Amino acid sequence: MVEKYFVDPTGNSNVKIADDVVTRIAQEAAIRVEGVYNSYTTRREMVGELLTGRNPSKTKITGDEMSSIVDISIVVEYGKNIVEVAEKVQDAVKESLENMTDIAIEAVNVHISGVRAEHENQAV
């Protein structure tokens, strides 16, 4: 994962952004895109993780302080154009991470892990 440090020009202090925070920013940006149901799958094997409070995310950020690559899995609402939704997620995630962390995002790879129909309680 990416660990980003901000150093005060005077050398008096620095701030580290935790990996989980960077991941959370990417997830929040993704789920705010119209047509995205969530940024993780809701399959049975993940129920235990949900109940224990562990992050079931399929979001991964690799790279260094200079540039990073984001891989994020999403579930799309049925009837939405998957390509358009994925492109909007790419733009939203990149913009959010660059604005909030100053990490240069080289690429955002969106993986569609399911489609959620209105009448279903879980992702397909």
Would you say residue 2 lies in a domain? no
**The pLDDT value given to residue 55:** 45
Number of domains in the chain: 1
Would you say residue 101 lies in a domain? yes
d(CA 12, CA 22): 24
Q: What is the DSSP letter of 82?
A: H
Would you say residue 26 lies in a domain? yes
Element at 51 (helix H, strand E) = helix 47-52
For residue 23, give its domain range. 19-46+57-116
* Whole-structure pTM value: 0.74
Strand segments, DSSP code E, in the chain are: 4-7, 14-17, 36-38, 60-63, 68-77, 105-116
Would you say residue 13 lies in a domain? no
Q: Assign 74 to helix, strand or coil.
A: strand
The CATH code of the domain that includes 70 is 3.30.70.1350
Q: Is the pLDDT of residue 72 over 70?
A: yes
Would you say residue 14 lies in a domain? no
Looking at per-residue pLDDT, the higher value among 41 and 25 belongs to: 25
Would you say residue 31 lies in a domain? yes
Would you say residue 93 lies in a domain? yes
Question: How many C-alpha atoms does 91 have within 13 Å on its Cβ side?
Answer: 8
Would you say residue 11 lies in a domain? no
Q: Assign 27 to helix, strand or coil.
A: helix
Residue type, 109: N
Q: Is 79 exposed, middle or buried (0-12, 13-18, 19+ CB in 10 A)?
A: exposed
Lowest mean per-residue pLDDT among 6-10, 13-17, 74-78, 91-95: 6-10
Looking at per-residue pLDDT, the higher value among 110 and 118 belongs to: 110
